[in-house]
Amino acid sequence: MALLWAMCRKKNEGGVKMVKVFIAPRRYVQGVGVIKDIGKYVAPLGKRVIVAWGPVVSEQFSAVVKKSFEENDIQLIPFNFSGECDRGQIGLGVEKAKAEKAEVVVGLGGGKAIDLAKAVAMEIDAKLVTAPTIASNDAPTSAATVYYTEEGNFDGWGIWPRNPDLVLVDTQVIVNAPVRWLISGIGDGLATWFEAEAAYKGRRAALAGGVATQAALTLARLCYDTLMDFGIDAVRDCAEHVVTPAVDRVIEANTLLSGLGFESAGVASAHAIGNGLTEFEECKPYSHGEKVAFGVATQLCLDGDIDPDERLAVFDFMVDLCLPVTLEDLGLGGMSPESLKDFAEALCVPEQITHNHVFTVTPFDMYSALVAADRLGRSRKALTA
């Protein structure tokens, strides 16, 4: 993790011109029912294919995957992992993939199945396919794996030298999942533009290893505009389990635009706060995107360049979607000022991505922003109560 943050913080120092870097998956496929054709899309990559899935996803999708693989002469090698992306499970996957001489690794499920598949594919130098069943995060397109312990606690990151060969997103599958996951993905995706803009202003390197291209910045902005324009409709339609044009656009924003944006344009305070909140036991029930949402709220109160009307519009949008905009929304309503100051302090240690902003962020600035976000969140929620 330290390596990752250090890389993120690399900037244009000593007059050396930093290079721009843009990375992406080789192919992105999104549509209703594409999971039924998974064999057709995977076949050009190899014929011995290990599929990593957790218990629930395996039960739900094994018949459809098996059928499609048979139709395309693909040997299915199922790998039923525990549901946790820990180093032990990754080791078991690598062992099985090697023993079976797998040419392709597919991660089918949520972020953990996908991150585990990335690690297995890179360890055995196989082709990589990610097939998300929820749109709650931007893992599917990226070259990063987040590790957890067996108990599910955050255990660091790894960045791989290449992105997936194929990302397969079945929009019907996504809307069949609980709507909370789409909302979480919106929370995560909302951070993309504000963090990209912040990192670019400071000429900070993104995870991709260089400063942002115009392409990455444009995609990050499109992610934000899409979510603000279509997010409310998409959530309403997703709750009815239907794929409308709004749903289709928001799934693309949560998965492709947010993924390309965060990886190739940069991250800043919103994700520092979202990741930092994982340390609190009270926040365990909340998803990554829900925690990042409060990170967005705080970053909007930290950055003096944000237009006040835009700040209010984003707060109101998050209130409409029931995304967390107060500490109480994350189970931290009783947090003392001292604890909040300690949290602000931890967010400002030198290796933190908080310092990707063009301005200096002190613990006092961060504490003030956390308090201001909480206060503004409470007042905007009161207006709609």
Residues that bind Zn ion (CB under 5 A): 188
Based on CB atoms, which residue is closest to Zn ion, 188 or 374? 188
14 torsion bin: left (phi>0), alpha (psi -120 to 50), beta (else): left
In the complex, the smallest distance separating the C-beta of residue 5 from Zn ion, rounded to whole angstroms, is 14
Based on CB atoms, which residue is closest to Zn ion, 188 or 365? 188
In the complex, the smallest distance separating the C-beta of residue 352 from Zn ion, rounded to whole angstroms, is 16
Which residue has the CB atom at the shortest distance from Zn ion? 188
Rounded to the nearest angstrom, the gap between the alpha carbon of residue 9 and the centroid of all alpha carbons in its chain is 19
In the complex, the smallest distance separating the C-beta of residue 230 from Zn ion, rounded to whole angstroms, is 20
Judge contact between 99 and 111, C-beta under 8 A. Answer: no
HSE-up of residue 222 (Cα within 13 Å, Cβ side):
17
Based on CB atoms, which residue is closest to Zn ion, 109 or 189? 189
Based on CB atoms, which residue is closest to Zn ion, 288 or 380? 288
347 Cβ contact list (under 8 Å, min separation 6): 269, 272, 273, 276, 354, 363, 366
How many Å apart are CA 262 and CA 58, to the nearest integer?
30
Give the SS3 label for residue 52. Answer: strand
In the complex, the smallest distance separating the C-beta of residue 288 from Zn ion, rounded to whole angstroms, is 6
Based on CB atoms, which residue is closest to Zn ion, 69 or 262? 262
Based on CB atoms, which residue is closest to Zn ion, 39 or 187? 187
How many Å apart are CA 76 and CA 182, to the nearest integer?
30
Q: Nearest 5°: CA angle at 167, between 161 and 170? A: 160
The two counts, helices (H) then strands (E), for the chain are 15, 8
Based on CB atoms, which residue is closest to Zn ion, 115 or 188? 188
In the complex, the smallest distance separating the C-beta of residue 303 from Zn ion, rounded to whole angstroms, is 18
In the complex, the smallest distance separating the C-beta of residue 268 from Zn ion, rounded to whole angstroms, is 12
In the complex, the smallest distance separating the C-beta of residue 71 from Zn ion, rounded to whole angstroms, is 36
Q: Nearest 5°: CA angle at 194, between 208 and 205? A: 25
Query: What backbone torsions phi and psi does residue 141 show, to the nearest 5 degrees?
Result: -90, -15
How many Å apart are CA 166 and CA 210, to the nearest integer?
23
In the complex, the smallest distance separating the C-beta of residue 139 from Zn ion, rounded to whole angstroms, is 8
Identify the H or E element spanning 107.
strand 104-109
Based on CB atoms, which residue is closest to Zn ion, 65 or 253? 253
Based on CB atoms, which residue is closest to Zn ion, 188 or 237? 188
In the complex, the smallest distance separating the C-beta of residue 254 from Zn ion, rounded to whole angstroms, is 10
Tokens at 222, concatenated? 């499109």
How many Å apart are CA 154 and CA 86, to the nearest integer?
10
